Amino acid sequence: MTKGTPRHLGFGRVFAIAMLVTAVTSFWIQTSGHFSPIHILSVITLVNIPLAIWARRFGNIRWHAGAMVGNYVGLLIAGAFALAPYRLMGKVFLGG
């Protein structure tokens, strides 16, 4: 996707809002009343998304791009952990 276009901006806003909503709501998902290590990614997301937006507004495109790619990689890591065979989502989707 071409960077800086209205389409890029629209997708970016949707991605940022979805990531923030997911990060906030993840704190209600707990194991035995406790947070799991995966919640660290939620905290990182809650810090990283606003920093990425701040970097873009002040013209630091390299930092903005790195932060957004980092958020996407974190999303993939969280998804991989969620689909582990011993976890509920892994059992549901992978028949573990």
pLDDT at residue 3, rounded to an integer:
83
In a domain, 22, yes or no: yes
Rounded to whole angstroms, the Cα distance separating 45 from 53 reads 12
Question: Residue 96: pLDDT above 70?
Answer: no
- 83 part of a folded domain: yes
Q: Is residue 1 a part of any domain in this protein?
A: no
Number of domains in the chain: 1
Q: What is the pLDDT of residues 11-37, one digit of tens each?
A: 999 999 999 999 999 888 877 778 877
Q: Which pLDDT score, from 0 to 100, does residue 91 have?
A: 86
Confidence of residue 63 (pLDDT cuts 50, 70, 90): very high
How high is the pLDDT of residue 79? 85
pTM above 0.85, yes or no: no
Q: Which domain holds residue 40?
A: 6-94
Is residue 16 situated within a structural domain? yes
Q: Is 19 exposed, middle or buried (0-12, 13-18, 19+ CB in 10 A)?
A: buried
Residue range 83-94: mean pLDDT, rounded: 84
Residues 6+ apart with CB under 8 A from 85: 91, 94, 96
